[in-house]
Amino acid sequence: MNIDLTGRTALITGSTAGIGEATAEALAGAGADVVVNGRNADRVAEVARRLGARGIAADVGTAEGVAELVEQLPDVDVLVNNAGIFSPQPVFEIPDAEWQRFYEVNVLSGVRLGRHYAPRMARRGWGRVIFVASDSAVLIPTEMVHYGMTKTAQLALSRGMAQELAGTGVTVNSVLPGPTLTEGVREFVAGLYPDVDFAEAERRFLSNDRPTSLLRRLIRPAEVANLITYVASEQAAATTGGALRTDGGVVPTILP
């Protein structure tokens, strides 16, 4: 299969590290005109320069940041809603402000960007909207229920948008990665098992905290980016309204 995104503009939010950066690299490799996004202007410029891409520094977790971004970039063909935050906290200790912050960044960023870009895609007759959700949308993690809540919300949001865009040539899907070796996950796993090297911490995490993993290792960001690239392609024209797993078998069900 030859995926060719030449002539397509792709915006990947939160693309200065981890899955987002790997996705920006993969889409650029497929020929897309990639726009890198993040909050840190220096990091955005560095990644954009490395990929030969355009960079826009904006905080999409705020309405003002989204407005700033879309003013600079009125149209895209592929929107990858990847920006997100996570952190462990006991559910009964999470204050209102944290619930709101997680919802603003993880959910409303995609609402706002989709509300701007998707109707414009529909008028042109082609587009791809992709939410980077998580296995935590299905298996709510006890240690960060507020994160799981936002990822479940993304599944409902992407399905609803797909229904609204039926027959327009625009597809909307969610991709559900499992535990992935990003900088944030590395720090999280190392913090759980601080007295051993990372290889042993990874083994213990998957044995104790994610024992249903069939991969038995952390997923690599590029492996998630591969699925996102397919979903962004012309070849995925019949894939819409879906929750597509790239979770290493962590979710122990046939369907999400």
117 belongs to the catalytic site = no
- In three-state secondary structure terms, 193 is coil
Stated as kind and residue range, the H or E segment containing 121 is: helix 109-124
Mode of pairing for the β-strands spanning 170-177 and 127-132:
parallel
Q: How far is CA 13 from CA 55, 106, 174, in A?
A: 10, 11, 14
d(CA 191, CA 210): 16
Query: Looking at 117, 147, 193, 230, which residue is catalytic?
Result: 147
First to last CA, the chain: 26
CA 26/CA 221 separation, integer angstroms: 10
Q: Quick one: which H or E segment has residue 68?
A: helix 63-72
Contact 255, 215 (CB under 8 A): no
The residues annotated with a catalytic role in the active site are 147
